[in-house]
């Protein structure tokens, strides 16, 4: 693990940059040109980043007692289930905010901490920006619903 890396932010700076550009939809050739390097380097870095993220997501799932339903290495997301809480859970990663574990809430309106909700919204905006997901009127939507809208676009299994 690189010196600046941690569990909540497992990628090195170059891995972050390349992974973020790929997630935004840039082609490998374009990224190689932009960063003045080879396509092979970009591909290798991407694979290394995905492998690191996958390992970290699985570690976090294990620590949080989640049963892994499906891992999405390219999206850096993990869909799981907490057997004790009897809730679905999702683990996400963004280059700027790191990892977060999400639980399904039937009554999210009971959560009234404004700072918490604002932070959540910021995180979701970051995910949406990184993954290229566009949601209209994001500022007016409750973060829980906003999260659901983003996650259903990124995780096909949530639509059913």
Partner 1 sequence: MNIKKSLHNRIKGWLPKTPSVPKQPSAPSFKRTEISNEKPLMDKSFPAESSTNLVNGIMIGGSIAILLIGLSLWSSLNSSYWSQRNFLIFSGLDASDIEHVLINNVGYIAVCAGAVVYSSYLLIFVSINQLNPTIRNLTNKKISFRLANSFLNVGVIAITFSVSETVYYSYPLASTPPPLLSIGFGTTGTILIVVGVLLMAYLYFKFGKSLTKAQGGSANDFAKFYS
CB nearer to partner 1: pick between 32 and 72 = 72
As measured in angstroms, the least distance from the Cβ of 109 to partner 1 is: 5
Residue 11, CA distances (Å) to 17, 45, 73, 95, 119 in order: 9, 10, 13, 8, 22
Query: Nearest distance from residue 3's CB to partner 1, in Å?
Result: 8
Binding site for partner 1 (CB under 8 A): 1, 3, 6-8, 59-60, 62-64, 90-91, 99-109, 111, 120, 123, 142-148, 151
User: Which H or E run includes 81?
Assistant: strand 77-82
Residue among 36 and 137 whose Cβ is closer to partner 1: 137
SS3 126: helix
Q: Nearest approach, Cβ of 20 to partner 1 (angstroms)?
A: 20
Q: Classify residue 132 as left (phi > 0), alpha (psi -120 to 50) or beta.
A: left
* H/E segment holding residue 71: strand 67-72
Separation CA 95–CA 86 (nearest Å): 29
Q: How far is the CB of 36 from partner 1 (least distance, A)?
A: 31
Cβ neighbours of 112 (radius 10 Å): 7
Beta carbon nearer to partner 1, 50 or 80 = 80
Q: Which is nearer to partner 1, 22 or 57 (CB)?
A: 57
Q: Cα separation of 1 and 118, whole Å? A: 32
Q: 48 vs 111, which CB is nearer to partner 1? A: 111
Least distance in angstroms from the C-beta of 89 to partner 1: 8
């Amino acid at each position: 693990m690189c010196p600046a890396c941690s569990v909540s932010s497992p990628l090195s700076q170059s891995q972050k940059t390349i992974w973020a550009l790929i997630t935004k939809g840039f082609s490998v050739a374009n990224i190689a040109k932009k960063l003045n390097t080879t396509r092979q380097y970009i591909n290798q870095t991407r694979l290394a980043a995905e492998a690191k993220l996958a390992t970290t997501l699985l570690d976090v799932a294990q620590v949080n007692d989640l049963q892994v339903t499906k891992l999405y290495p390219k999206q850096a997301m993990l869909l799981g289930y907490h057997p004790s809480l009897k809730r679905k859970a999702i683990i996400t990663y963004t280059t700027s905010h790191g990892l977060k574990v999400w639980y399904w809430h039937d009554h999210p309106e009971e959560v009234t901490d404004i700072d918490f909700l604002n932070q959540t919204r910021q995180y979701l905006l970051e995910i949406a920006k990184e993954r290229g997901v566009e949601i209209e009127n994001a500022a007016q939507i409750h973060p829980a619903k906003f999260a659901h809208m983003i996650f259903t676009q990124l995780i096909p299994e949530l639509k059913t």
